[in-house]
Amino acid sequence: MTSPAPSTMPSFEQLGLPDSLLSMLSEVGYEIPSPIQAACIPYLLAGRDLLGEAQTGTGKTAAFALPTLAKLDLSNMRPQVLVLTPTRELALQVSEAFTKYAHHLQNFHVLPIYGGQSMVVQLRQLSRGAQVIVGTPGRIMDHLERKSLKLDALTMLVLDEADEMLRMGFIDDVEWILEHTPSTRQTALFSATMPATIREVARRHLREPEEVRIRTATSTVEKIRQRYWLVRGVDKLDALTRILDAEEKLDAALVFVRTKIGTEELADKLAARGYAAAALNGDMTQSLRERVIEQLKNGSLDIVIATDVAARGIDVPRISHVINYDIPYDTEAYVHRIGRTGRAGREGVAILFVAPRERRMLKSIEHATRQQIEPIALPSREDVSSLRVSQFKQKVLDTLADPDMELGFFMSVVEELVEENDLSSRELAAALAYLVQAGRPLQIEEEGRGWDQATALHTQGKPLREDIFTTGAPRSRTGRRDANAIPAKVFDNGKVQRYWIAVGRDHGVMPKDIVGAIINESGIEGRSIGQIDLFDDFSTVELPAQLPDDLLNVLRGVVVRSQRLNIRPVRDDENLPVRRPQNRDDPRRDKKPSKPWEKKSGEKRFARSGDFRPPRRDDARQSERRSFADKGKVSGWKKRRGHE
């Protein structure tokens, strides 16, 4: 079914929820259910399995939490409900929602379980009992294998954001958990999209499910003003700081970058410029991540720089702006990102930085969200200065108007300065204003060139630059272009170059480790990675020639096997060996087709793994033994070895 029309939307009372939940909903100000809630709650109360398709931020947590709470046996402390979430943050958010909705329920307990938290603490909490368990697949599997989590009393299982679990590689773990739960359970699966793999999981594990499809692909962005800045003229960091300064209604901002290293670097640079900023990524301990989110909530932090995975599940009312410092590689990630603002009917602002080579992805995002994204120019120096002066004046007036502000002592100090130094009040006020604004100057300077381009709106319809990057729809397994697929970024100039990296066999590295690190941290596609040669204390890898400096900086900091890559192009004067030519026409390539291993130039070659080792003495003997045996000269071989 599709979402009900607003005019026919039922009330929470009409959905059949108990009085204890209705009083709580009234206290927190919930008036009418959202479309996903109105559609799902009756089915779940009736005990039906459910397949729900709805974007993030549409209220689906309440859609399964409210009917679940209505059916709980609060006298039974064994786990009756299991909710699987892809990330720790989402697990905590769902747990907090259950706690809020169960405010009037006596003896209710919910327990979040996720990796990064002490196993001892979790074992102790499980032994005490909880009716609702919310957790990530990996840690839930750990407890099931330990038998510290028993699901024999389970009546409801919820898969939240199933497509995200698929994207993160958890879908096999999810199926394993499903197979270890009672067959009599009720199951609800929620997903923003319904790829074939998710539908296959639903077919195997759900019993004649009711399907609810909320056809509001843009519902999460209707309240969000979307804008983009075409990156040019000046550094992105300078552009970001100017936007942060010029946005009038900015309360708190969530800034998205692609890599974990990028979060730390950008947070440090913003902090050095006087902003209350911090990083949020998967390498941080869970306690530190929770502290960052709490500081964002209470106003200790104004800016959080995060990766896609680390920001999943964050719902902080203060977040007024989402800034895509690095453009995402797919449209779903963009929708999830900007869904961190404009939630529950609030207004929000989303700003996207788009490099000239990334404008095709911009078109894909516009197509997916069915909205035109508005181009903007950077605020001019005059705009920023005017805004800062206005804010400064207002701050002074607010201080004077505050009845609790005791200014008598400061007035006496000012009078003494005026009398002792024969100053005018205007001169003294100007000096004090100068001291106050020193950390954040009211008049800003534009250092470097390019501000004339950055502060001018670019012309529409300008041809795309394709000399460095281009995009194209990915190919399916059959080799055909998928017109509905999300465009992927690849290098298209055809030129490759060897790069030196500071990790080799001595560090225990394998080619797959290098490929995975490059793809995950830089965004370079696998098809753009060529030959990888492993040596003892270094390796070489073929990548597109003339990589941009910002991309090289990212790759230099990538860690593989506890070793930074410190990547650099191989110089022409370096005579580094090449293990395995990639091009069939290369004269260095063996004339015979390569086998899983083959002997050449005194080496054993393993073409698949890229592993090489020098020949051992036994190898030489066996080779000589076979050679003589083939020629019928075994006796001659024995004589040479001293045998009669």
- Label residue 277 by pLDDT band (50, 70, 90): very high
Q: Residue range 210-239: average pLDDT? A: 76
Q: Are 125 and 146 in contact (CB under 8 A)?
A: no
Q: Are 346 and 222 in contact (CB under 8 A)?
A: no
Task: Give every strand in the sheet of 611-613, ordered side by side.
Answer: 597-600, 603-606, 611-613
Name the most confidently modeled range: 461-475, 499-513, 550-564.
499-513
- pLDDT given for residue 493 in this prediction: 53
179 burial class (0-12, 13-18, 19+ CB within 10 angstroms)? exposed
Residue 167 has pLDDT above 80, yes or no: no
Q: Residue range 246-251: average pLDDT? A: 82
- Label residue 593 by pLDDT band (50, 70, 90): very low
Compute the residue count for the chain: 644
Phi, psi for residue 382 in degrees, rounded to 5 = -65, -40
DSSP 78: S
Q: Residue range 537-548: average pLDDT? A: 87
Q: Residue range 416-438: average pLDDT? A: 82
Q: Are 515 and 526 in contact (CB under 8 A)?
A: yes
CA pair distance 313, 323, nearest whole angstrom: 17
More confident residue, 553 or 220: 553
- Label residue 382 by pLDDT band (50, 70, 90): confident
Residue 600 has pLDDT above 50, yes or no: no
Task: Give the residue extent of every domain in the chain.
Answer: 6-213, 224-379, 383-436, 493-613, 615-644
Strand pairing category for 563-564 and 559-560: antiparallel
Adjacent-strand bridge partners of 563: 560
- pLDDT given for residue 546 in this prediction: 79
- Label residue 157 by pLDDT band (50, 70, 90): very high
Q: Residue range 132-150: average pLDDT? A: 93
Name the most confidently modeled range: 54-68, 170-184, 406-420, 465-479.
170-184
The residues, ordered by sequence, that sit 6+ positions from 40 with a Cβ below 8 Å of its Cβ are 50, 52, 60, 63, 64, 67, 188, 212
CA pair distance 175, 201, nearest whole angstrom: 7
Adjacent-strand bridge partners of 190: 52
Q: Residue range 246-273: average pLDDT? A: 88
**pLDDT averaged over the chain?**
77
| Residue in this structure with the two tokens 């989590």, named with its chain if needed | 149
Neighbours of 571 (CB within 10 A): 10
- Label residue 248 by pLDDT band (50, 70, 90): confident
CA 157, 163, 165: angle at the middle one, nearest 5? 70
- Label residue 221 by pLDDT band (50, 70, 90): low
Q: For the chain, how big is the Rg over CA atoms in Å?
A: 31
- Label residue 559 by pLDDT band (50, 70, 90): confident
Q: Among 5-9, 112-116, 322-326, 523-527, where is mean pLDDT lowest?
A: 5-9
Q: Residue range 59-64: average pLDDT? A: 86
Question: Shortest CA distance to 347 belongs to which of 224, 217, 216, 247?
Answer: 224
Give the E-state strand segments of 325-437 in sequence order.
348-354, 374-376
Strand pairing category for 303-306 and 252-256: parallel
Q: Model confidence over 302-311: pLDDT tens digits?
A: 999 998 877 7
Q: Are 220 and 335 in contact (CB under 8 A)?
A: yes
Residue 6 has pLDDT above 50, yes or no: no
Q: Are 356 and 230 in contact (CB under 8 A)?
A: yes
Residue 148 has pLDDT above 90, yes or no: yes
- pLDDT given for residue 84 in this prediction: 94
Residue 398 has pLDDT above 50, yes or no: yes
Residue 300 has pLDDT above 70, yes or no: yes
More confident residue, 283 or 74: 74
Question: Shortest CA distance to 316 belongs to which of 300, 330, 327, 333?
Answer: 300
Residue 155 has pLDDT above 90, yes or no: yes
CA pair distance 384, 392, nearest whole angstrom: 12
Report the SS3 class of residue 598.
Answer: strand
Phi, psi for residue 132 in degrees, rounded to 5 = -125, 130
Name the most confidently modeled range: 102-116, 378-392, 586-600.
102-116
Q: Residue range 112-140: average pLDDT? A: 91
CA 626, 629, 633: angle at the middle one, nearest 5? 135
Residue 17 has pLDDT above 80, yes or no: yes
The rounded percent of the chain whose pLDDT value lies above 90 is 25
Residue 108 has pLDDT above 60, yes or no: yes
- Label residue 456 by pLDDT band (50, 70, 90): low
Give Dmax (Cα) for the chain: 120
Both tokens of 33, joined, read 């259910």
Class of domain 224-379: alpha beta
The answer to whether the 6-213 and 224-379 domains have the same CATH topology is yes
Q: Among 127-131, 285-289, 448-452, 629-633, where is mean pLDDT lowest?
A: 629-633
- pLDDT given for residue 590 in this prediction: 43
Q: Are 482 and 475 in contact (CB under 8 A)?
A: yes
- pLDDT given for residue 405 in this prediction: 79
Q: Model confidence over 336-378: pLDDT tens digits?
A: 888 888 765 678 899 999 887 777 778 878 877 888 898 888 8
The residues, ordered by sequence, that sit 6+ positions from 271 with a Cβ below 8 Å of its Cβ are 277, 278
Q: What is the DSSP string of 428-451?
A: HHHHHHHHHTTTS-SS----SS-H
Q: Residue range 132-157: average pLDDT? A: 93
Q: Model confidence over 468-507: pLDDT tens digits?
A: 233 333 333 333 333 333 333 345 456 788 999 999 988 8
CA pair distance 531, 371, nearest whole angstrom: 42
- pLDDT given for residue 3 in this prediction: 46
Residues 502, 505, 507, 508, CA torsion sign: positive
Output the CA–CA distances (angstroms, integers) from residue 366 to 218, 360, 529, in the order listed.
11, 10, 30
Q: Among 1-5, 271-275, 433-437, where is mean pLDDT lowest?
A: 1-5
- Label residue 458 by pLDDT band (50, 70, 90): low
307 burial class (0-12, 13-18, 19+ CB within 10 angstroms)? buried
Q: Residue range 250-273: average pLDDT? A: 89
Both tokens of 176, joined, read 């394993």
Q: Residue range 218-228: average pLDDT? A: 72
Q: Among 109-113, 152-156, 458-462, 470-474, where is mean pLDDT lowest?
A: 470-474
Give the E-state strand segments of 192-274 in sequence order.
210-213, 224-230, 252-256
Q: Among 4-18, 227-241, 257-271, 545-559, where is mean pLDDT lowest?
A: 4-18
Kindly state which CATH superfamily the domain 6-213 is placed in.
Answer: P-loop containing nucleotide triphosphate hydrolases (3.40.50.300)
- What's the CATH code, domain 493-613? 3.30.70.330
Residue 466 has pLDDT above 70, yes or no: no
Q: Are 51 and 203 in contact (CB under 8 A)?
A: no
Task: Give every strand in the sheet of 277-280, ordered side by side.
Answer: 277-280, 303-306, 252-256, 319-324, 348-354, 224-230, 374-376
What per-residue string of b and e applies to 517-547 under the rule 16 or more CB within 10 Å gives b? bbeebbbbeeebbebbbbeeebbbbbbbeeb
CA 281, 286, 289: angle at the middle one, nearest 5? 50
CA pair distance 290, 117, nearest whole angstrom: 11
Q: Are 473 and 536 in contact (CB under 8 A)?
A: no
Q: Residue range 584-608: average pLDDT? A: 43
- pLDDT given for residue 412 in this prediction: 86
394-400 long-range Cβ contacts below 8 angstroms, 24+ apart: none
